[in-house]
A and B are shown apart, each in its own frame.
Chain A
Amino acid sequence: MTAHSLRIGFIPLIDAASTIIAADKGFAAAEGLEIDLVREVSWSNVRDKLNLGLFDAAHILAPVAIASSLGLGHIKVPIVAPFTLNMNGNAITVSPGLYAEIVREIDGTARDPLTTARALARVCAARRNRAMEPVTLGMTFPYSTHNYQLRFWMAAGGVDPDEDVRLVVLPPPYMVDSLASGQVDGFCVGAPWNAVAVDRGIGWILHFGPDILKRAAEKVLAVRQQWAEANPDVLSRLIRAHRAAADFIDDAGNHDEVAAILARPDRVNADAQIIKAVLAGRLVMAKGGSPREQRDYMLFGRDAADRPDPSQATWLYAQMVRWGQTTATPDGLRAAQATFRPDLYDAAIGTTTVARSSIGAFVGPAIEGDDIAAYLAAFPAFAKRA
């Protein structure tokens, strides 16, 4: 059998692990696939090259896949996600300066996201009263989990993300330097960048992603819908190779090897020790401190995290609506949900029973079925300031 060759684009982040391990550890070859991994520098590039067919598949932000299917911010190309590469993995990191400001205003423990969000609201007010620059926070892309998680967190404490702070897009590899240079006061980004900031002594991890949302789809393996329909067998093999890779990554006994592969310059190009700490969910929150353990810091195949869950798409679509990126329509919601394809996953893996689990946000109700309007009504809109 001659191997079927596939070009897959990725951004150097630990959550590309399943794709990288599938390619580098022989799981793809075992399915008769030869993966040519292409390291990219921007989500825009990954999206454009996937949409144009220069990539067969891609490691991409879950909301970018949805935005592409909806035609938001770019041409409309229906994308499907037959495999969730990971859930969680993000964190909110702030500069020591902003951390001190939050602690000055805090009424309770900094472990509680509602408490820190309320403190942030007072920091913003204090800065405004003293005519100081607003708090500036970095995130990775307008259609990113980082954007939505930051907004969800701060809005709960009464911070209007569009008025009270300045949200700026920064490419992940620039996050740490931008924090060091004072260009931003904090950021929400994926691994390994929060741990890198702590390691350099210029950032404090304020919250792990699961503090905000217990289970949040992060990156997906994305292909064009048209390609999925034309290549069902190859797609099934690709899903199975990813499934095997995710199992391999989840086994703590393999963490040394996984970290060594991901650390390579042509892969994630990060310190193997930091990668291992991320895989184990044991991260130091501030330089010199003891690590905090969070079993679900980043989920690959464990707890059915890799099976696409359309309710995750519903949540992401609701955030797009909440922050004015799109207007809610029944067709839009259906297109967003149809991006996540558990049926393709099941066909490849042979899954039959599925335990559904909720997103588990730290505030607000869950979305009941498709009722986005009722869900959003629970979050009061911010009054426009003059």
Chain B
Amino acid sequence: MGTEPSPKIVIVDENPVRAAILEDGLREAGFSRVEHIREMQNLLARIYALDPDVIVIDLENPSRDVLEQMFQVSRAVRRPIAMFVDQSDTDSIRESVDAGVSAYIVDGLKKERMRAILDLCISRFNAFSKLQDELERTKSALEDRKIIDRAKGMLMKLKGLSEEEAYVLLRSTAMREKKKIGDIAQSIITAAELLK
């Protein structure tokens, strides 16, 4: 890190888990001065009180437009900031938009240091999305298993099949109709309810 003081980074994010993941990453990388704003009320006043060098905000946050006001030179704005973009470097914007994060830089910070911070934000945001996807997948897999078990039970009872045979029937039907086994199971349950 050299002798330069660590820039002060403010994370604006209503999601505490994602903010914690990002904060940890920044601290591990040697950025020791990291603050987190969760409350969007009076956002500008909070930011001014912290007086950061860099502001990181998630793109799902409507308050992103509030930050854009800080580009304007007016009495309300003490230190003008800019979004971290390079006219020549649309890749960095695309990467950050894809990851769902945007970074604003307060004048004075070196471009290379900013790039390092942005890259870290992008990778941590992507890591968070992956985590969330996995959680969703696990949840829906559990849901599927419950549905498949119910449908299997119905098939066993109605058609006098063994558990193994009921499962094979579900699977082969799913393959033939090019559908997910969970969807076939759900349609059996729906049909059974309609025919009750």
Q: Give me 9 other A-B pairs in contact (C-beta within 8 A), A42-B61, A142-B68, A162-B74 excluded.
A: A42-B59, A45-B59, A45-B64, A52-B90, A54-B97, A74-B85, A167-B76, A174-B40, A181-B41
- In the bound complex, residues from chain A placing their C-beta under 8 Å from that of B59 are 41-42, 45
**Contact status B62-A142, CB under 8 Å:** no
- Tell me, in angstroms, the Cα distance from A43 to B102 when the chains sit together: 14
**Contact status A325-B68, CB under 8 Å:** no
Q: Mark B61-74, 1 if CB is under 8 A from A, else 0.
A: 11111111101111
The answer to the question of B94 belonging to the interface, with a C-beta cut-off of 8 Å to chain A, is yes
- In the bound complex, residues from chain B placing their C-beta under 8 Å from that of A169 are 65-66, 68-69
- In the bound complex, residues from chain A placing their C-beta under 8 Å from that of B93 are 48, 52, 75
Number of interface residues of B (CB under 8 A): 29
Partner-A contacts on B (CB < 8 A): 40-42, 44, 59-69, 71-76, 83, 85, 87, 90, 93-94, 97, 102
- In the bound complex, residues from chain B placing their C-beta under 8 Å from that of A140 are 65
**Contact status A170-B73, CB under 8 Å:** no
Given contacts A168-B44, A169-B68, A183-B42, contact A76 B87 (CB under 8 A): yes
The answer to the question of A73 belonging to the interface, with a C-beta cut-off of 8 Å to chain B, is yes
Residue of B nearest to A171 (CB): B62
**Contact status A75-B85, CB under 8 Å:** yes
**Contact status A75-B65, CB under 8 Å:** no
Partner of A41, one of B62, B73, B83: B62
- Tell me, in angstroms, the Cα distance from A74 to B65 when the chains sit together: 13
* Residue contacts A-B, CB under 8 angstroms, 27 given: A41-B59, A41-B64, A42-B59, A42-B62, A45-B59, A45-B64, A48-B93, A48-B97, A49-B97, A52-B93, A52-B97, A73-B71, A75-B85, A75-B93, A141-B65, A142-B71, A163-B75, A166-B76, A167-B74, A171-B62, A171-B66, A173-B62, A174-B40, A181-B41, A183-B41, A324-B73, A325-B72
Residue of B nearest to A43 (CB): B65
Most A CB contacts (10 A, CB to CB) among B60, B65, B68, B69 go to B65
- Tell me, in angstroms, the Cα distance from A168 to B41 when the chains sit together: 12
